[in-house]
Amino acid sequence: MSPRKFFHPDTAELTLHRVLFALSDPTRLAVVSDLMRDGERASGDLLAESVPRSTMTHHLKILREAGVTRTRPEGMRCLISLRREDVDARFPGLLDAILAHGGAEASAP
Amino acid sequence: MSPRKFFHPDTAELTLHRVLFALSDPTRLAVVSDLMRDGERASGDLLAESVPRSTMTHHLKILREAGVTRTRPEGMRCLISLRREDVDARFPGLLDAILAHGGAEASAP
DNA sequence: ATTTATGTACGATTTTCGTCGTACATCGTA
DNA sequence: TACGATGTACGACGAAAATCGTACATAAAT
């Protein structure tokens, strides 16, 4: 019964092209937009109506392995949060620029 | 002998995920980094040593159709420049954030 | 008009990505 | 332990992307 493990890259290992790629998909952009507005959220509540679970798992894995989000197991659920400070430390202003654009594209793909 | 035509999207039609996708490739990121530092450049001078011409044409087309760059024919050559004001108008701070990161990844892929 | 330099168009190939169903694992609770 | 709820792993499928060679187009000069 080992607690579930999730790989998270170190802050120093984030690469710009990987982060940009993680953000280049409409579904993932919508997830990040939600996280920016609402803070930490359960993965099951993210776009739950429009995206199957296995598809959401896939997108969350890409965001997590790019260093954009953090996944924290909490009982049966997974809580997802933005790695705001880490991304800001490595790419200052990047998330602000995306936040500034707001959720204009943050609807379903 | 009509002068060569290149499609450029209107500023209002730029989408965030398309711009981010265009910037999510190391080769294209290196091109943009060069353009930020040196201004307008001939396409043949961009990474000429490491990327075949037809491949570079492909990348420049993606950048252009995403609205990130402008291509201007000048005699036999093509001059490439950043659409700085247009991208800034639509996504303020985005290019600054990438410029701030400098050319740290701007070497060959 | 021929030649040379530059860049595009097209096609073929390989790789990667996005989607999602199914089976499995984990967690809390009855 | 058995059950129900949540999330992951794996595999398959089709769509899209990255690479690059070859053929063609454009422009300038001879």
Question: What pLDDT is recorded for position A109?
Answer: 38
Q: Tell me the pLDDT of chain B averaged across its residues.
A: 91
* Residue ranges of domains in chain B, CATH in brackets: 15-99 (1.10.10.10)
CA atoms within 13 A of residue A39's CA, in its CB half-sphere: 0
- Residue B4: pLDDT band (50, 70, 90) is confident
Q: Would you give per-residue pLDDT tens digits along chain A (109 residues)? A: 456 789 999 999 999 999 999 999 999 999 999 999 999 999 999 988 899 999 999 999 999 999 999 999 999 999 999 999 999 999 999 999 998 886 555 443 3
Residue B108 has pLDDT above 50, yes or no: no
Average pLDDT value for residue range B30-38: 95
Average pLDDT value for residue range B74-102: 94
Protein residue with the closest CA to the C1' atom of nucleotide C4: B76
Residue A95, min C-alpha distance to chain B (Å): 9
DSSP secondary structure of B40-78: SEEGGGSSTTTS-HHHHHHHHHHHHHTTSEEEEEETTEE
Residue A108 CA distance to nucleotide C13 C1' (Å) = 34
CB A50 within 8 A of CB A31: no
Find residues 15-44 of chain B whose CB sits inside 8 Å of chain A.
15-18, 20-21, 23-26, 29
Residue B76 CA distance to nucleotide C2 C1' (Å) = 17
A105 close to B (CB below 8 A): yes
- Residue B47: pLDDT band (50, 70, 90) is confident
